[in-house]
Amino acid sequence: MAAERLVIIGGDAAGMSAASQARRLKGPDELSVTAFERGHFTSYSACGIPYWVSGDVTGRDQLIARTPEEHRARDIDLRTRTEVTEIDVAGRRVRALDRESGETYWTGFDKLVIATGARPVRPELPGMDAAGVHGVQTLDDGQALLETLERTTGRRAVVVGAGYIGVEMAEAMLKRGYEVTVLNRAEQPMATLDPDMGRLVHDAMDGLGIHTVNGAEVTGITTGPDGRVTGVTTDGASYPADVVVLGIGVEPETTLARAVGLPLGPHGGLLTDLSMRVVGHENIWAGGDCVEVLDLVAGRTRHIALGTHANKHGQVIGSNVGGGYGTFPGVVGTAVSKVCDLEIARTGLRERDARAVGLRFVTATIESTGRAGYYPGARPMTVKMLAEYRTGRLLGVQIVGRDGAGKRVDVAAVALTAGMTVEQMTALDLGYAPPFSPVWDPVLVAARRTVSVLRKAGTA
């Protein structure tokens, strides 16, 4: 009997995790695995690019978890620089374009995995393609930015966007000695937080010497006679720049899927079932940045481009296509980041998310420290908590602070997954010792305050 043919489109986290896991479960006699990757690299940490640019990470290869050669050594037929340009769903084949030779050819599949990732949002504005304007989504992008930085003598950097990538790139450019201006369309940086918490990030960035302009709508890039970037204009002003970094966010790359009518959700991502199989398609799976995932708190799908989810998806897909079993139940929306020593974390719903799905809620915000107040190095941290009116169910947590603030959000992530109420959370048995926490952990202090707000609202 001929081996079953597994074809994978996309050679990064989701695709190659799926390939590896399937290969772990089935040998080449049973299953052939062919993976197409349009770039040079596989299985790399895009999240690490800001730290490569900053110099914290010394080389590109450190960001590569597994090279094409390593995958090939595991009996995966990996074809880099090869782009899939068409899916023939009924004919069970994909058309590939070898970007080196220009040759195209069809490859048949019994099972297909779509892991095409996300593409950066790149507004159609004058000058967007000028020399010195860089995205930072792929290793190739990072390499190009670093080459620009080596050539550029000017020290003025403008970062467009103040989300995770934006603030991380602001830190990176600051560390490289640039004067950094961040242009942010939203009311405050980190729109994944509520504005009151985003304000804390703004103030901290200010304190670090990062100039952040909120409510700034970029209208174009200005260039010099040599075609290189000279500045960024907004609806209200213009900012001189020797280099511009775009950190505006990403959207699902689903061009191929859309062309053949695969089901897409409200955010443009592929829709799958719990086994990561594309809805309505027995033999097609999808995972990573090109799918929508269930937000377990909101009960709606969301699009979240994050390596940790992509790895989990790949693991689940690989188990299922390899004859094992796995499911991806969904996310609670946990994210953590930092600007220099300021840690920023969130999980669950912001106020606007809760409103958008019809939830009524209360909020509480407290200040505490990451260690006992008397222990050396104790630094302030602010925790905001949302709980549902009446039921008291935890809806979300946002944390901004230093010294161990960020990963504290994990406690809330597990509590959200378990559907805990804030009253239940007040009794959580969290680790306590003076170097690690005040006697009431900040998350417990926030839970107690939220319970008290619920009571005053006559609802608990």
Contact set with its own copies (CB under 8 A): 13, 45, 47-48, 51, 56-57, 62-63, 65, 164, 306-309, 311-312, 327-329, 331-338, 343, 345, 347, 372, 374-376, 404, 406-411, 413-415, 417-418, 420, 424, 426-437, 439-441
Q: Residue 363: enclosing H or E segment and its boundaries?
A: strand 361-369
What's the CA gap between 212 and 277, in Å, rounded? 42
DSSP E strands in 77-125: the ranges are: 77-79, 82-88, 93-98, 104-108, 111-114, 118-120
Whole-angstrom CA distances from 145 to 72, 172, 178, 244, 339 are: 30, 12, 14, 9, 20
Catalytic residues: 47
Report the b/e string of 353-364 with b at 16+ CB within 10 A: bbeeeebebbbb
Q: How many CB atoms lie within 10 A of CB 284?
A: 23
Give the residue from 253, 257, 251 showing the smallest Cα distance to 281: 257
Least distance to its own copies, CB of residue 334, Å: 5
Least distance to its own copies, CB of residue 107, Å: 29
What's the CA gap between 53 and 324, in Å, rounded? 40
What's the CA gap between 385 and 208, in Å, rounded? 27
Whether 269 contacts 296, CB under 8 Å: no
Least distance to its own copies, CB of residue 436, Å: 5
Least distance to its own copies, CB of residue 420, Å: 7
Give whichever of 114 and 411 is closer to its own copies, judged by the CB atom. 411
Give the residue from 267, 268, 398, 426 showing the smallest Cα distance to 334: 398
Give whichever of 256 and 415 is closer to its own copies, judged by the CB atom. 415
Three-state SS for 193-245 is CCHHHHHHHHHHHHHHCCEEECCCCEEEEEECCCCEEEEEEECCCEEECCEEE
Task: Please name the residues in contact with 111: beta carbons below 8 A apart, sequence gap of 6 or more.
Answer: 4, 5, 6, 7, 283, 284, 285, 321
Task: Please name the residues in contact with 271: beta carbons below 8 A apart, sequence gap of 6 or more.
Answer: 263, 264, 265, 278, 279, 291, 292, 301
Task: Please name the residues in contact with 455: beta carbons below 8 A apart, sequence gap of 6 or more.
Answer: none
Least distance to its own copies, CB of residue 313, Å: 11
Helices (H) and strands (E) in the chain, counts: 12, 25
As a whole number of Å, the end-to-end CA separation of the chain is: 64
What's the CA gap between 389 and 424, in Å, rounded? 15
What's the CA gap between 387 and 389, in Å, rounded? 6
Task: Please name the residues in contact with 248: beta carbons below 8 A apart, sequence gap of 6 or more.
Answer: 120, 121, 122, 123, 160, 161, 163, 166
Least distance to its own copies, CB of residue 52, Å: 9
